[in-house]
Amino acid sequence: MRPSLYIHIPFCIRKCEYCDFYSGVATEQDIDAYLDALEREFELRFSDRIAPATVFIGGGTPTRLSAKQLARLGELLHARVDLSDCREFTCEINPGTLTPDKADALVAMGVDRASFGVQSFKTKYLGGLGRAYEAGTATAAVEMARSAGIRRISMDLIFALPGQTLQELREDIDQALSHGTEHLSFYALTYEDDTPLTRQLLNGELQPCPEELEREMFTLVGDTCAAADLQRYEVSNFARPGAECRHNLVYWTLGDWHGLGSGAHGMIGGEITAVAADYKVYTRMIGEGTLPFSRREKLADISRAETLLLMGLRLTRGVELARFEQWAGASFATLCGEKASALERQGLIEISPTHVRATPDGLMVLDSLILELASSLETTV
């Protein structure tokens, strides 16, 4: 398949308390200079127009840009990217930053799928996440997107929030479903290193969700979505049939994608690239005619096999064994047989002639399950 394209827009109104993605607060002049640099990066990296299978604009907050700046981004993309055979074009949107003019600019750009970072419909939890300004904006933002002509809608929500009850999560799920969205993502809150939320946790200012309650929430999300005909296809993602996020499937199946913009990652033919996560350094180096890669590394085939295992077991369909074995140089049974058999006896994985997949019980302990299997490859990698 043709490589996909990811573009990082590293700007936000403010930094969320839980976020460890690269983003920052910038002036309008900074953003204009960044768009100039992004256009120049296309020129430096590609001698001709590219024709990606899918496009994803993420952040940060892409809709932090003004309608005029979004139109400019659309112009440079149309000049450098052939979208005639693009299967999906997603843009992340924080509800409180969308306006009708911005929605129109996204449609003119080619966006046909909006991914809304809702996180919660409850003001008290949005405040704790640093998103109080988003309260009450999700419904209006979805209506704006649909009115502009964006036909596919997804919502991201977070559960296992400090103090959150099962009933409050049920209300969030019901409210998300009431919008008729065809795709929902539910992520358990994680405490990433060096974030304000983690510092509050370490200082004893908040209590994490109890593990047993988090497991109940995980089950509630899955059961409620399934009853609404949104099937789990990845540990945290649910979709109506045919509405899965095609771009993210590229990541989970270890396909190829270009990553452009400050803080973006990409992988083509097993070579990982990372662009400097500092938009001012990025803008300066691009202006000097230098590609600001902070990492370029060609993965060994066995490392690609291990990464496929790490990513692919997130999918309910699991990992295609033929693809794993193509890179591993040996069969899954040879490399992981003893530990895989033990996990299978525990009811945590299922192994068929074509795939290895986590069971519903396995998905609940996915991180430890993956580490257990990956340790079988350590002596090979």
Domain assignment present for residue 172? The answer is yes
- The mean pLDDT value for 48-68 works out to 96
Global confidence as pTM:
0.93
Domains held by the chain: number: 2
Higher pLDDT, 371 or 191: 371
Domain assignment present for residue 272? The answer is no
pLDDT at 272 over 90: yes
Q: Could you report the per-residue pLDDT of 18-27, keeping only the tens digit for each?
A: 455 556 788 9
Token pair 């496929």: residue: 308
Q: Examine the domain organization and report whether 174 and 307 are in the same domain.
A: no
Token pair 């839980």: residue: 18
Residue 24 is predicted with a pLDDT of: 75
Residue ending a domain, among 252, 270, 291, is: 252
Backbone angles phi, psi at 375, to 5 degrees: -65, -20
Domain assignment present for residue 169? The answer is yes
Q: Examine the domain organization and report whether 79 and 223 are in the same domain.
A: yes
pLDDT at 342 over 80: yes
Domain assignment present for residue 212? The answer is yes
- The mean pLDDT value for 46-55 works out to 97
Residue 291 is predicted with a pLDDT of: 96
Domain assignment present for residue 129? The answer is yes
Tokens coding 321? 């064994």
Q: Is 267 in contact with 311 (CB distance < 8 Å)?
A: no
* Average pLDDT value over all residues in the chain: 92
In this structure, what DSSP letter does residue 7 have? E
Residue 379 is predicted with a pLDDT of: 57
In 3-state terms, what secondary structure has residue 6? strand
What does the DSSP assignment read for 137-194? -HHHHHHHHHHHT--EEEEEEEES-TT--HHHHHHHHHHHHTTT-SEEEEEE----TT
* Residue (of 275, 208, 175) closest to 18 by Cα position: 208
Q: Examine the domain organization and report whether 47 and 143 are in the same domain.
A: yes
**Alpha-carbon distance values, 157 to 13, 161, 275 (Å):** 19, 11, 28
Q: Examine the domain organization and report whether 329 and 248 are in the same domain.
A: no
Q: Could you report the per-residue pLDDT of 285-329, keeping only the tens digit for each?
A: 999 999 999 999 999 999 999 999 999 999 999 999 999 999 999
Check which CATH number belongs to the domain holding 365 and give it. Answer: 1.10.10.920
Domain assignment present for residue 162? The answer is yes
Q: Examine the domain organization and report whether 45 and 141 are in the same domain.
A: yes
Domain assignment present for residue 269? The answer is no
Residue 145 is predicted with a pLDDT of: 97
* pLDDT-wise least confident of 25-34, 131-140, 231-240: 131-140
pLDDT band at 196 (very low <50, low <70, confident <90, very high): confident
Residue 279 is predicted with a pLDDT of: 95
- Structural domain containing residue 336: 301-377
Q: Examine the domain organization and report whether 309 and 196 are in the same domain.
A: no
Within 8 A by CB and 6+ apart from 196, the residues are: 15, 17, 18, 130
Within 8 A by CB and 6+ apart from 156, the residues are: 115, 116, 117, 118, 119, 184, 185, 186, 187
Q: Examine the domain organization and report whether 176 and 50 are in the same domain.
A: yes
pLDDT band at 12 (very low <50, low <70, confident <90, very high): confident
Check which CATH number belongs to the domain holding 138 and give it. Answer: 3.30.750.200
Residue ending a domain, among 223, 252, 281, is: 252
In 3-state terms, what secondary structure has residue 247? helix
The runs of H, that is alpha helices, within the chain are 28-45, 67-80, 100-109, 123-128, 138-148, 166-177, 196-202, 211-227, 246-252, 279-287, 301-312, 321-328, 332-345, 360-364, 366-374
Q: Examine the domain organization and report whether 106 and 49 are in the same domain.
A: yes
Q: Examine the domain organization and report whether 179 and 314 are in the same domain.
A: no
Q: Examine the domain organization and report whether 237 and 118 are in the same domain.
A: yes
Residue 205 is predicted with a pLDDT of: 75
Domain assignment present for residue 281? The answer is no
Residue ending a domain, among 187, 217, 252, is: 252
Token pair 């400019």: residue: 72
The region, left, alpha or beta by phi > 0 then psi within -120 to 50, assigned to residue 347 is left
pLDDT at 85 over 50: yes
